[in-house]
Amino acid sequence: MGLLGGAGGLNGLVSQFASKGLGDVIGSWVGTGNNLPISADQLQSVLGADTIKNLASKLGMDSDALVGQLSNLLPQAVDKLTPEGKVPEGDILSKGMDLLGRLFGKK
């Protein structure tokens, strides 16, 4: 789950998206409305090739396949981690790790 940990948690991830001009996208995932889509290229731009490569290696996946799946799954994961429409206070990394692990079929 280096994805959230390396980004400074969910708040850090929100900041990364905002710095790349995609604050509205992640804001829709956090909010209670519909989730805006993100392309694999946009997601790779936000997270960086090294982060994708490292995460893919840990999961035993191809980087392109991972970023493609993450572009579909990350909006759902962030949405589920923010059920009240805001980033919760405190450390939610363990919840995020469990959720993404389940989404990728890892126990």
Question: Domains in the chain, ordered, with CATH?
Answer: 2-83 (1.10.10.690)
Residue-wise pLDDT tens digits, 51-97: 899 888 988 999 999 999 999 999 998 898 888 888 877 655 555 55
pLDDT for 94 equals 53
Q: Is the pLDDT of residue 107 over 60?
A: no
Residue-wise pLDDT tens digits, 6-64: 556 788 888 899 999 999 999 999 999 999 999 999 999 998 999 899 888 988 999 99
Taking the model in full, what pTM does it have? 0.76
DSSP annotation of 107:
-
CA-to-CA dists, residue 66 to 19, 38, 73, 88, 90, angstroms? 23, 14, 10, 26, 28
CA-to-CA dists, residue 51 to 7, 26, 62, 87, 103, angstroms? 10, 18, 13, 22, 18
